[in-house]
Structure 1
Amino acid sequence: MAESAEPSAPTWKKRQWRPWLLRLALAAASGVVFYLAFAPRDLWWLAPLGFAGLGLALRGRRFWGGLGYGFAFGLGLYLPLLFWLQDFLGRGFGPAPWVALSAALAAYLGLAAALCTVVARLPGAPVWMAAVIIASETPRSWWPFGGFPWGRVAFSQPEGAFTPLASIGGAPLTGFAVVLTGFALAALLAHAARRDWRALRLPVIATVVPVIAGLALWPTIGTAAQAGSRTVATVQGNAPDVGLDLINESATLRANHLAQSEVLAARIRSGAVPTPDLIVWPETATDLTTTDPVLDQVVRDLGIPTLIGARYREPGQRTQNTEFVWDPATGRGESYSKQELVPFAEFVPARSIARWFTPFVDDTGDMQAGSTPAVLDIAGTRVAVPICYEIAYDYVSRDAVDDGAQLIVLPTNNAWYGHSEMTYQQLAMARLRAVEHGRAVVVSATSGVSALVEPDGAVTQSTSQFTAASLVGDVPLRTQATLSDRLGASTEYGLVGAALAAILAGLVLRVRTRAASTTATRAE
């Protein structure tokens, strides 16, 4: 008897481990599926499928199990999504920053998934689970070190069935619809597998309604000019593909953009392209202190108002990442300085710890953040000018549009990140913002991808990476506020409030269930 029992023990243990491993593999693979929904791929429909896989992995799990599966899902997403950090730092520095950031962001999804197990027993569970996932994006945009909103669910949707929802509730509502569809699909599959046909109605509704609502809204997305149009030109001077060493190439960046401005001027004079009303240089295309006679002359020769992106430093002050209005007649005018600085790049928090992760802590000083809305007046146009990384933050573009912006211009310097997916991921954010605010977007990049984007998110012109090029085209000026802009942050905080209420309700339900079980046991 004893001999026959011994071989069965390992078999029993294997059976206990097998479901756990399968769920872990499903969660990680689902994160990879979600990653594949992001640009440069046009596979937006993979995003709800990724969350469907996560929903199946979480079914019937408790808090700590949900934490682990959610963390695995997050790693499956962020490790490939943020691989461009390796292009920035170079292979010689090692993967520590890339892995550390990916793990930190995955921890948010791990906690959110754990809290999903708390609300999973409430009626309409997919709704509350989706609210919890999207609510976790709010603190991720705040902390640590100013947050890192890259990889939000909505940023996987620059086109497709869910995109028009951005005009109603911005990125939070778009992301909520994607996650709700995925979790509802998981519930539908689980009930169908058990042949629990009566329970299918709500999952079917929750799976289908977000898709139908998004598709129904497409005809409402306005693209027509409401305050005329402007012919806009971008100057993409190009940059060396040297990653982190670009910090020593400021003179090359300036020379390249001056040269491309001359090329653009020659094309304008020859009639090869229409005369622009506005020219846009990208982010940090030149260093600037007080006066710059060369830029004065260049803009004077062009005869066209120009937005110049510069690393700007006044005597005795810290450097700022600034966009300047440059007029052919009056020279340098008003400016906007970047509010959301990139941690460990434009400022270094906790320097003693940062030395473990970043190679240039002791060679750089912290930039000074701006404090005014990202909006400027140029060429008779009110222009929103979120700089690079700021396109990931809801409030920067929203505040500018609320302040009267008729057009969004996104100056950016993506040359740091090589031939990676980073610039395409950022372009996808710009496309979503176009729909969210009902404004055309002009993306002006040092080395690509520069693009002209219609208010419905469609890209009408774009450049290649690491080429010197210019785009010239007409963009509509719009003044109508979308419902998303009128609601402002209330959609986001409404979802956060709903998630917190659901978590509280789930905890109360769990306590009552345990109390009832204990009472029943004692009665027996």
Structure 2
Amino acid sequence: MPAEQGWTTDYFQGTLRDLTWLSLHPPGSKDGQRFDLIVWPESPSPFFLNDATFREVLASLARQSKTWLLVGAIGVDTASASPQQHSEVFNSAGLINPSGELAARYDKTHLVPFGEYVPFKRFLPFMDMLTDQIGNFGWGYSREPLDAGGQKLGVFICYESIFPNEVREYVQRGAGVIINLTNDGWYGDSGAWKQHLQMTQMRAIENGRWMLIGTNTGVTASVDPYGRIVAATGRQIRTALVAPYGLLSGTTFYTRHGDWFAYLCAIISMGAVLARFLISKPKPQL
């Protein structure tokens, strides 16, 4: 679904019907086949987690499929529940249990500047007048894995996948699988969608975890801990993917120590360059 698609009531309802149908009847599945997890992408429509119609559809799907459901949606905190003392909206992922209840919510912690918020907004009040595409999302504060009946899900949204030091926090805290919900519709036909996919593959390798990618317009895929794509859809296809994944518990060197080895290599390289110019060569003997 293209990013420029207008969000109307008909579009909202049609998208919800399509997602529900594909979740219950994914191509290639067998009648009565059970799944461990159903994943919807980031922002395929303006779904609000506190919207009664949306929640009832999710609850019905979860009960009918007897499956945990992870969905991209807009989370809302009312003024009474918000530390900011006013209502806030978040770019979120909601986890629905098989009984149809909202079990947990992840709020995006690393927002896109000038896309999801305006940095230094009080100094740039004119930005809201330039475009209606700038969001006003609140910041999430937790990178704790979501518990789906014993499955520890490390969930992050869209371009959060390009920050390796942040993704490894989920695995440090016990995530057995990592999941990226994204909307690649913003990239159009550029090569950015492919770069994004390759970055998520690197996060799988770095942390030795299966990576599930649920995307709008891009490549929905399952990536093994070696970075190999074991199942994937094509781009810009209205479909669903039945994909394998596993839950792992070990940690890699990178998960434990992060980028210090790369920093050490950079320091050694800089030292070698400086030494080349600072240490004078011995003068030839006559």
TM-score tier (shorter)? 0.7 to 0.9
Query: Are 1:472 and 2:227 matched, yes or no?
Result: no
Corresponding position of 2:43: 284
| AA in 1 matched with 2:71 | I
Query: Are 1:343 and 2:113 matched, yes or no?
Result: yes
Corresponding position of 1:114: none
Query: Are 1:260 and 2:19 matched, yes or no?
Result: yes
User: Is the contact between residue 383 and residue 409 of structure 1 (CA under 8 Å) also seen in structure 2?
Assistant: yes
> Of the candidates 237, 242, 257, which is equivalent to residue 487 of structure 1?
257
1:380-435 per-position Cα deviation (integer Å, ceiling 9, x unaligned)? 21111121101100122100011111111111011122233222111111111111
Query: Are 1:385 and 2:148 matched, yes or no?
Result: no
| AA in 2 matched with 1:339 | T
The range that moved more, 347-356 or 435-444, is: 347-356
**How far has the Cα of 1:366 moved from its partner?**
2.4
Cα 1:364/1:342, change in 2 over 3 Å = closer
Cα 1:454/1:490, change in 2 over 3 Å = same
**How far has the Cα of 1:301 moved from its partner?**
2.2
Corresponding position of 1:124: none
**How far has the Cα of 1:353 moved from its partner?**
5.7
| AA in 1 matched with 2:30 | G
1:79-107 per-position Cα deviation (integer Å, ceiling 9, x unaligned)? xxxxxxxxxxxxxxxxxxxxxxxxxxxxx
Corresponding position of 1:446: 216
User: Is the contact between residue 278 and residue 379 of structure 1 (CA under 8 Å) also seen in structure 2?
Assistant: no
Cα 1:325/1:264, change in 2 over 3 Å = closer
Identity, % of aligned positions: 27
**How far has the Cα of 1:477 moved from its partner?**
1.8
In structure 1, the residue corresponding to 2:234 is in which secondary structure? coil
Query: Are 1:305 and 2:75 matched, yes or no?
Result: no
**How far has the Cα of 1:255 moved from its partner?**
3.5
| AA in 2 matched with 1:396 | E
In structure 2, the residue corresponding to 1:256 is in which secondary structure? helix
Query: Are 1:324 and 2:88 matched, yes or no?
Result: no
Cα 1:501/1:273, change in 2 over 3 Å = farther
1:185-224 counterparts in 2 under 5 A? none
Cα 1:402/1:494, change in 2 over 3 Å = same
**How far has the Cα of 1:250 moved from its partner?**
7.0
User: Is the contact between residue 308 and residue 325 of structure 1 (CA under 8 Å) also seen in structure 2?
Assistant: yes
**How far has the Cα of 1:298 moved from its partner?**
2.5
> Of the candidates 423, 434, 442, which is equivalent to residue 204 of structure 2?
434
**How far has the Cα of 1:302 moved from its partner?**
2.3
1:63-212 counterparts in 2 under 5 A? none
In structure 2, the residue corresponding to 1:426 is in which secondary structure? helix
**How far has the Cα of 1:452 moved from its partner?**
1.1
Aligned-partner Cα distance in 2 for 1:365–1:341: 10
**How far has the Cα of 1:459 moved from its partner?**
1.0
In structure 2, the residue corresponding to 1:436 is in which secondary structure? helix
**How far has the Cα of 1:502 moved from its partner?**
5.4
Q: How does the TM-score come out when normalised to structure 2?
A: 0.81
Structure 1 unaligned residues grouped into runs of 5+? 1-238, 514-524
1:106-126 per-position Cα deviation (integer Å, ceiling 9, x unaligned)? xxxxxxxxxxxxxxxxxxxxx
Cα 1:302/1:358, change in 2 over 3 Å = farther
Corresponding position of 2:83: none
In structure 2, the residue corresponding to 1:295 is in which secondary structure? helix
Aligned-partner Cα distance in 2 for 1:277–1:283: 20
User: Is the contact between residue 452 and residue 459 of structure 1 (CA under 8 Å) also seen in structure 2?
Assistant: yes
| Higher normalized strand content (fraction of residues) | 2
Structure 2 unaligned residues grouped into runs of 5+? 79-85, 282-286
In structure 1, the residue corresponding to 2:244 is in which secondary structure? strand
User: Is the contact between residue 398 and residue 437 of structure 1 (CA under 8 Å) also seen in structure 2?
Assistant: yes
Corresponding position of 1:226: none
**How far has the Cα of 1:370 moved from its partner?**
1.0
| AA in 1 matched with 2:233 | T
| AA in 1 matched with 2:131 | F
Aligned-partner Cα distance in 1 for 2:140–2:183: 18
Cα 1:267/1:416, change in 2 over 3 Å = closer
Cα 1:478/1:253, change in 2 over 3 Å = farther
Q: Which of structures 1 and 2 has the larger relative contact order (alpha carbons within 8 angstroms, sep 6+)? A: 1
In structure 1, the residue corresponding to 2:227 is in which secondary structure? coil
| AA in 2 matched with 1:288 | F
Cα 1:500/1:451, change in 2 over 3 Å = same
Corresponding position of 1:360: 131
Aligned-partner Cα distance in 2 for 1:324–1:250: 22
Q: How does the TM-score come out when normalised to structure 1?
A: 0.46
User: Is the contact between residue 401 and residue 437 of structure 1 (CA under 8 Å) also seen in structure 2?
Assistant: yes
Aligned-partner Cα distance in 2 for 1:472–1:370: 30
Aligned-partner Cα distance in 2 for 1:447–1:379: 30
